[in-house]
Chain A
């Protein structure tokens, strides 16, 4: 039981490049979410999903896309990276939105 896994751990992009941050969980959780963590601002919700095929926007969705084709996977796509997207990204999952969230190890992204 690996819990919540995220890849890659580190990534450096140039402005305008695109990439996908991967998130997977093996706990059969319905609720999955993406956060970004910035100094002095805590964690901010980017997008979330309450089940396969269902996604919705969080607090800071601009510049990010998500999809949920399976229960296990919830990738986060940056379509055209900007320096303002330099951050640490966390994926989390829980049985339902009201249950304990389990966090992944994070991806540190730098956009030059």
Chain B
């Protein structure tokens, strides 16, 4: 069965420090992986997806099929990055999404 695991409920870092939000998944086929973000009092929105290989707001994520991971990274965290981050998986060519339990990132000044 498909499963997305985000092992950290809360991650606190200081401004300017590197940040890595972990995401591991279990799926035997080809997955599409996404990171969604929810800022305070805002709607959940897409941050990035692995197939686009973009860097959004300084964040990057690489799909590692060997380790079944899709960790989100940013070299220098900013206070405005404080938010709830969700990793999500969609089995390729299927219509269902599976979300992780989320990691709350707190960037301290």
When each residue 35-67 of chain B gets 1 if its CB lies under 8 Å from chain A and 0 otherwise, what string results? Answer: 010000001111001000000000000000000
Instruction: Count residues of B near A (Cβ-Cβ below 8 Å).
Output: 22
Whether A97 and B95, one on each chain, are in contact in the complex, defined by CB atoms closer than 8 angstroms, is yes
Interface assignment of A89: CB less than 8 Å from any CB of chain B: no
Interface assignment of A42: CB less than 8 Å from any CB of chain B: yes
CA distance A92 to B36 in the complex (A): 13
Minimum distance in angstroms from B56 CB to a CB of chain A = 12
Residues of B near any A CB (own CB < 8 A): 4, 6, 9, 32, 36, 43-46, 49, 86, 88, 90, 94-102
Other A-B contacts than A43-B86, A97-B90, 18 sampled, CB-CB below 8 A, are: A35-B99, A40-B101, A42-B6, A42-B86, A43-B99, A44-B99, A45-B97, A45-B98, A48-B95, A50-B95, A56-B95, A97-B95, A98-B32, A98-B90, A100-B46, A100-B49, A102-B43, A102-B45
Residues of A near any B CB (own CB < 8 A): 31, 33, 35, 40-45, 48, 50, 56, 58-59, 90, 92, 97-98, 100-106
